[in-house]
Amino acid sequence: MQVRPMKIRQLSSQIAHHYLNSLGWGGGIVCLIAYGLNTQELIASTSLTFLLMNVFGCCCLIYYTYKKEAFANTFLNGVYLFMTVLALIKQF
| Residues spanned by the domain of 67 | 3-91
Query: What DSSP state is assigned to residue 47?
Result: S
Confidence of residue 2 (pLDDT cuts 50, 70, 90): low
pLDDT of residue 92: 79
Query: Contact, 78 vs 70, CB < 8 A?
Result: no
pLDDT tens-digit map of 17-74: 899 999 999 999 999 999 999 999 999 999 999 999 999 999 999 999 999 999 999 9
Our count of domains for the chain comes to: 1
CA dihedral 49, 52, 57, 63 (to 10 degrees): -170
Cα-based angle 30, 35, 36 (whole degrees, multiple of 5): 95
For residues 2-30, give the mean pLDDT: 85
pLDDT of residue 33: 98
